[in-house]
């Protein structure tokens, strides 16, 4: 698996799984009816943000991550990131590889930590992965996320010092 900068030419490969994940409404606080142009704008970040793709030996996009400062000004030394893995590629180590890549990037860029603002508590695969990479749950916002089948569930704020 190779992780490289995403280009505009990658978006048509990202959009199908991005759309499926967002439309399911189980893991991201994006509008479930998000249209493609708005999705592209949200995901394909300009500097100082960065978007990458994980591709296999054939160049097939397996997943993507976007990374950026979590805040501006006095909070710009903390990074944030979001991840989407094509559901057809689940359990192949794509999320872990993207997470490790983001950690390496954040260190190289001089960030002091990484904060995930909204990890849905019922997304146990993500919570388990981020914990295994050294993230801690700093707090949980009770009923911070409206899950389409489980109702109101918590949003974790997760953090890792670098």
- Asked whether 44 and 79 are in contact (CB, 8 A), the reply is no
Q: Give the tens place of pLDDT for each residue, 83-99.
A: 999 999 989 999 999 99
For residues 95-106, average pLDDT: 97
Q: What is the pLDDT of residue 14?
A: 98
- Helices within 45-155 (DSSP H only): 94-108, 124-132
| DSSP 8-state symbol, 43 | H
Residue 8: both structure tokens together? 């505009």
Q: Give the tens place of pLDDT for each residue, 47-79.
A: 989 999 999 999 999 999 999 999 999 999 999
Q: What is the pLDDT of residue 22?
A: 98
The number of angstroms, rounded, from the C-alpha of 110 to the middle of its chain's C-alpha atoms is: 20
């Amino acid at each position: 698996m190779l992780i490289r900068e995403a280009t505009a030419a990658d978006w048509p490969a990202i959009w199908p799984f991005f759309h499926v994940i967002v439309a399911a409404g189980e893991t991201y606080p994006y509008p479930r009816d998000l249209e493609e142009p708005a999705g592209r704008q949200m995901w394909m970040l300009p500097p100082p943000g960065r978007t990458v793709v994980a591709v296999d030996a054939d160049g097939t996009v397996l997943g993507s991550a976007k990374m950026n400062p979590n805040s501006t000004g006095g909070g710009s030394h903390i990074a944030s990131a979001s991840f989407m893995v094509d559901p057809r590629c689940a359990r192949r180590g794509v999320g872990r590889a993207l997470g490790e890549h983001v950690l390496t990037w954040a260190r190289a860029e001089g960030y002091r930590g990484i904060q995930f603002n909204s990890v849905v508590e019922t997304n146990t695969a993500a919570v388990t992965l981020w914990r295994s990479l050294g993230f801690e749950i700093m707090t949980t916002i009770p009923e911070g996320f409206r899950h389409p089948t489980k109702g109101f569930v918590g949003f974790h704020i997760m953090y890792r010092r670098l």
